[in-house]
Amino acid sequence: MSEENKETTETTVQTTEQTGANSTAPEQQAAKPATLDDVLKDPKNQSVFDQRVAKAIATARTKWEEESKLSAEELATRQLSEREKAIAEREAAQDLREFTVDLRGKLQEQGLPLSFAEILASGTTRETCEAVLADIKAEWDKQINEAIKASARQTTPLVSATATGQTSTSDLAEFAREIRKVK
């Protein structure tokens, strides 16, 4: 048991030395950001970094070798298509942002939650948006009206003889008989 405690203590000391932690305040440690050199001092981090760099170099090398085999015209065509693809992706992202902003305005006009904007933007097109918004608004209003009606509903009070002031003679006679019984 004491050997386990000793090993745990040694591991804790080694970990503390590796991370550079000492008796300084946590605010001081948080204020000083770790540099790449500090992170790479750990052998595990260094090996992971080396693997990623090697993979990036290999990928770049194969791309360069492929491009070196292409003619100038083919290379220009490939670069042009890559640029067009990047531009199309940026335009699609911009269009989605603009569509989301437009939806937020429409939702606000109709009194619907603005959190629906992202859901609608990703699931509808500009053409189908109006119909979907109309359906959502109708269902939203229906649910709100039902909730208001349900909360405003009251239970009907039970009619009793004493509350209405009207009692029949047979009811009184039966009541009197019950009271007179000796138990």
Top mean-pLDDT range of 36-50, 84-98, 101-115: 84-98
Give residue 57's pLDDT band: very low, low, confident or very high (50, 70, 90): very high
Categorize the per-residue pLDDT at 138 as very low, low, confident or very high, splitting at 50, 70 and 90.
very high
Closest CA to 121 of 147, 143, 98: 98
Q: Which residue has the higher pLDDT, 101 or 166?
A: 101
Alpha carbon 177 to chain centroid, angstroms: 71
- Give the C-alpha separation, 36 to 39, whole Å: 5
Helix (H, G, I), strand (E, B), or coil: what is residue 117? helix
Task: For the chain, give every domain's residue range.
Answer: 90-149
pLDDT computed for residue 3 by the predictor: 46
Q: Does pLDDT of 152 surpass 70?
A: yes
How many CA atoms, within 13 angstroms, populate the side-chain half-sphere of residue 141? 7
Q: Which two tokens stand for residue 62?
A: 């194969």
Q: Can you give the pLDDT at residue 29? A: 52
The stretch 97-116 carries a mean pLDDT of 91
pLDDT digit string, tens, across residues 5-33: 444 444 444 444 444 444 444 455 555 77
Percent of the chain with pLDDT over 90: 28
Phi/psi for 48 (5° steps) reads: -65, -45
What is the pLDDT of the chain when averaged over all its residues?
78
Q: What does the alpha-carbon distance between residue 107 and residue 124 come to, in Å, rounded to a whole number?
A: 14
The model carries a pTM of 0.44
Q: Work out the pLDDT band at 165, boundaries 50, 70, 90.
A: low
Q: State phi, psi for 112 to the nearest 5 degrees.
A: -100, 160
